[in-house]
Amino acid sequence: MLALGATPALADKISVAGENYTPTIWVDPDGCEHWVMDDGVEGYMTPHTNRQGIPVCRRGNPCGVMHSDQFFATNSARISHAGKARLAQFFASTGATAYIIAGHTDSRASDQYNMRLSFNRANAVAAVAASTGARIADVRGYGERSPIASNATAHGMAKNRRVEIICIR
């Protein structure tokens, strides 16, 4: 921060006293945990680097895959009572420090609709997690963009309609 009337050379020598810098932690889409302080200092949470000195990030492997047909009605982001109970038990038993919730759909409907539906379903699961005291690091909706099976068959589409829960330990 440059004080009024200060030159850039003087600005390097000015310090702000009495301010508290609180670190913030987030996980980017590649699974890298970062920290940043209010003064702009940023770093990676993962201390491992490859041979080129680039940080190696934790890849998020799902610790839970919930097939959305078991929890949601067609075209809905509302979780059934039985689904909420199963999810609450899951979050209470995993022992993770935080979670990333990612929603997915099959390829039926438009991309825009599927993106919104997958995000709303992920948010619904995150709300159940938060109600158990779980820390949510991120909520994502991928729509139909990350299929794990072919959308050419009913069985494949059912596999693609899912909510993945990534545990950060």
In a domain, 48, yes or no: yes
Considering the domain architecture, whether residues 79 and 149 belong to the same structural domain is answered as yes
pLDDT of 42 higher than 90: no
pLDDT of 160 higher than 60: yes
Model confidence band, residue 47 (pLDDT cutoffs 50, 70, 90) = low
Does residue 25 or residue 94 have the better pLDDT? 94
In a domain, 72, yes or no: yes
Average pLDDT over the chain, rounded to an integer: 77
In order of 76, 94, 95, the CA distances from 118 in angstroms are 10, 23, 25
Considering the domain architecture, whether residues 81 and 161 belong to the same structural domain is answered as yes
Question: What does pTM read for this prediction?
Answer: 0.65
Last residue of a domain, one of 5, 38, 58: 58
pLDDT of 35 higher than 70: no
Mean pLDDT of all residues in 12-33: 54
Which structural domain, as residue segments, surrounds residue 28?
A: 20-58
Considering the domain architecture, whether residues 152 and 123 belong to the same structural domain is answered as yes
Considering the domain architecture, whether residues 107 and 148 belong to the same structural domain is answered as yes
Considering the domain architecture, whether residues 86 and 156 belong to the same structural domain is answered as yes
| Dihedral Cα 59, 119, 73, 134, nearest 10 deg | 60
In a domain, 15, yes or no: no
Considering the domain architecture, whether residues 42 and 69 belong to the same structural domain is answered as no
Considering the domain architecture, whether residues 52 and 91 belong to the same structural domain is answered as no
Strand order in the sheet with 98-103: 62-67, 162-168, 98-103, 136-141
